[in-house]
Amino acid sequence: MNESTIFKQIIDGEIPASIVYEDDQCLAFHDVAPQAPIHILVIPKKEIPSIDQIKSEDKELIGHLFLVIQTIAREQGLAEDGYRVICNCGENGGQTVFHLHYHLMGGCNLQWPPGSSAPKENC
């Protein structure tokens, strides 16, 4: 049996999180180490380790996650000025928690490309 990830423990209520949205299929909460003024993680309740393990049966769930991202972005006041959605996949992609998640980031003019060494006050 694989060890449960920290996100599965949040889903199961075993560790706390600052939850902003929940329904029967997914959960969204503030990232514990925000890299933007607003940095929220949106995760499916189904245990899918990464993009690479998404199956065709998950198509509807993945679409639902994006509509939830859109809803949260509007609720957080990000829709007008725009925002970024990131999904890291695997070690080279920078993934550290192996439970599929989308980073919703906004609240400032985000730097591009990601990983540039721009000072944080410029976001």
Stretch in the footprint of ligand AMP (CB under 6 A) among 19-27, 56-64, 69-77, 94-102: 94-102
Cα–Cα–Cα angle for 80, 64, 69, rounded to 5 degrees? 30
**Helix, strand, coil share of the chain (percent; to 5):** 25, 20, 55
Stretch in the footprint of ligand AMP (CB under 6 A) among 57-65, 68-76, 95-103, 108-116: 95-103
Residue type, 78: L
Which of 70, 76, 88, 111 binds ligand AMP (CB under 6 A)? It is 88
Q: How far apart are CB 95 and ligand AMP at their closest, in Å?
A: 4
Does residue 92 belong to the site contacting ligand AMP (CB under 6 A)?
Answer: no
Does residue 17 belong to the site contacting ligand AMP (CB under 6 A)?
Answer: yes
Q: Alpha-carbon distance 55 to 78, whole Å?
A: 30
Whether the bond between 16 and the residue before it is cis, its omega within 30 degrees of 0, is no
In the complex, the residues that contact ligand AMP under the rule CB under 6 A are: 6, 17, 29, 31-33, 41, 88, 94-97
